[in-house]
Chain A
Amino acid sequence: MSYIAILLTFIFINNFILVQFLGLCPFIGVSKNSENAIGMGASVTFVTTVASVVTWAIYYFLLVPFNLQYLQTLTFILVIASLVQLLEMVIQKISPALYKALGIYLPLITTNCAVLGIAIINISSSYNVMEAFVAGLAVGLGFTLAMILMSNIRERLDLQPVRGSFRGMPIAFISAGLMALAFMAFDKSLITNLHLV
């Protein structure tokens, strides 16, 4: 698959939140205002991109030579957890301003399904390292897109009269469902029609 096809696949066709439901917890939890949504989206994009490449390298240079593929899940989650910790320290040292903006979201990302999800999908789709990098970036961008759209919807919803028991989370789920309905317009045929296969 070409890089553009991978980008389109993970941003629109298989959007991690709206189609695959990976990373739903922060999507519902942090999407109350658009500032937080952008911060969370940027942090996740950063981590998915770096984690994709690092887990890819660990799988092919460490697990495959020693025939330890069954340790994939265990290694990946530990690598992601340490990576997030490391990134937090590096960002704090290099760019205190960026740390101030992203700092509170970084610890939450370890348990974000999207990061471990893309690491595993990279391996199961046997992407090469460049494809894994693009896939990681695309997942992050798709996540950010969904977060920003959702936070805008929720900011509007706050001003609307919503009936008692639908207030808060239920209406957020229903709005997300309607948004997912719109995302169904992006289909696998998009890639074939654009001659990207």
Chain B
Amino acid sequence: MKANIKELTKGIFKENPVFVIVLGLCPVLGVSTQVSNAIGMSAGVMFVLLFSNIIISALRKVIPGSIHIPAYIVVIASLVTITEMVMHAFVPSVYSALGVYLPLIVVNCIILGRAEAFASKNSVFDSILDAIGMSIGFALGLTLIALIRELFGSGTITLFPMGNFGGGINIPWFYDNPIRVMALAPGALLIMGYLKAFFDWNTSRKKDK
């Protein structure tokens, strides 16, 4: 049981895909302009990663070694196509906001990386835990960057409209004094640099203890 929990939590902090392994950065920086986009992207990645891990782990004894990468890519691309169609049908606003980054989940290194490094060697149950942990870690990293960028860049936090709630929250002081560059491309790279430095510092501090 303890080993299972470790499988689940390693993706969230110790092997966080965004800040520690630094994989799948294109979508992380590309869609992090609004919190709602970040959540949509995380949901897409979570679905694809979970099912690709399940399918690849279930087929790990069937897929011949010499063509394993193309086989994984076909599995992942089919799942991404399903995600695209579902999002297009049910959340068209998120679909158009994510644009080219949604089909690009196919080449997201996290998914192929987990398939290669984990799902192809472990049981279905462990792969499910791994996928959940990794995708939560990815979602947290992506949402954190989106939160910082949206808060400083435009002083708002955009969520999904529900009932009376319109979807956007204005943060008083930040809304009047936005740092526009944070919402633009350079802001994403700068914030990524500072956060990576913070995580590196945090890891090295723990090691020293």
* A interface residues (Cβ-Cβ under 8 A, vs B): 18-25, 28, 70-74, 77-78, 81, 110-113, 116-117, 120-121, 124, 164-166, 168-174, 176-178, 180-181, 183-184
Residue B5 at the chain A interface, CB threshold 8 Å:
no
A selection of 6 A-B contacts at a CB cut-off of 8 Å is A18-B185, A23-B26, A70-B81, A111-B112, A165-B198, A177-B187
Residues of B within 8 A of A (CB): 22-23, 25-26, 29-30, 70, 73-74, 77-78, 80-81, 84-85, 99-100, 103-104, 106-107, 109, 112, 181, 184-190, 192-194, 196-198, 200-201, 204
Please measure, in the bound complex, the distance between the C-alpha atom of A170 and the C-alpha atom of B99, giving whole angstroms. Answer: 28
Q: Are B100 and A124 in contact, CB atoms less than 8 angstroms apart?
A: yes
In whole angstroms, how far apart are the Cα atoms of A24 and B185 in the complex? Answer: 13
B181/A181 in contact, CB under 8 A: yes
Given contacts A70-B85, A178-B186, contact A170 B197 (CB under 8 A): yes
* A81 touches which of B73, B104, B190 (Cβ 8 Å): B73
The docked-state distance in angstroms from the alpha carbon of A18 to that of B29 is 10
Complex formed: what's the CA distance from A73 to B105 in Å?
A: 10
- Top 5 nearest A-B pairs (CB, nearest first) are A173-B193, A177-B189, A165-B201, A174-B193, A170-B197
Pair B77/A170 contact, Cβ less than 8 Å:
no
Question: In the assembly, what is the distance between CA of A70 and CA of B81, in Å?
Answer: 7
Verify A73–B185 contact, CB threshold 8 A. no
CA distance A110 to B70 in the complex (A): 11
Query: Once the chains bind, are B185 and A164 in contact (CB under 8 Å)?
Result: no
Give CA–CA (A181, B189) in the complex, Å.
Answer: 10
- Closest A residue, CB atoms, query B73: A77
Cβ contact within 8 Å between A78 and B74: yes
Query: Is A164 a contact of B201 with CB atoms below 8 Å?
Result: yes
Residues A116 and B30 in contact, CB atoms below 8 Å apart: no
| B189: contacting residue among A22, A71, A180, CB under 8 A | A180
Q: How far is the CA of A170 from the CA of B191 in the complex (A)?
A: 10
- Which residues does chain A contribute within 8 Å of B109, judged by CB atoms? 25, 111
Q: State which of B78, B184, B189, B200 has its C-beta within 8 Å of the C-beta of A174.
A: B189
Instruction: Evaluate contact between A165 and B181: CB separation under 8 angstroms.
Output: no
Most chain A beta-carbon contacts within 10 A, residue among B74, B107, B197, B201: B107
Known: A18-B185, A116-B107. 10 other contacts (CB 8 A): A21-B26, A22-B26, A24-B26, A70-B84, A77-B77, A112-B107, A171-B197, A174-B194, A180-B186, A180-B189
Pick from B29, B104, B189, B196: contact of A116, CB under 8 Å:
B104
B196 touches A170 (CB 8 A): yes
Asked, given contacts A73-B81, A77-B106, whether A166 binds B197 with beta carbons under 8 Å apart, the answer is yes
Q: State whether A73 touches B84 (Cβ < 8 A).
A: yes
Kindly report which residue of chain A lies nearest to residue B108, judged by CB atoms.
Answer: A113
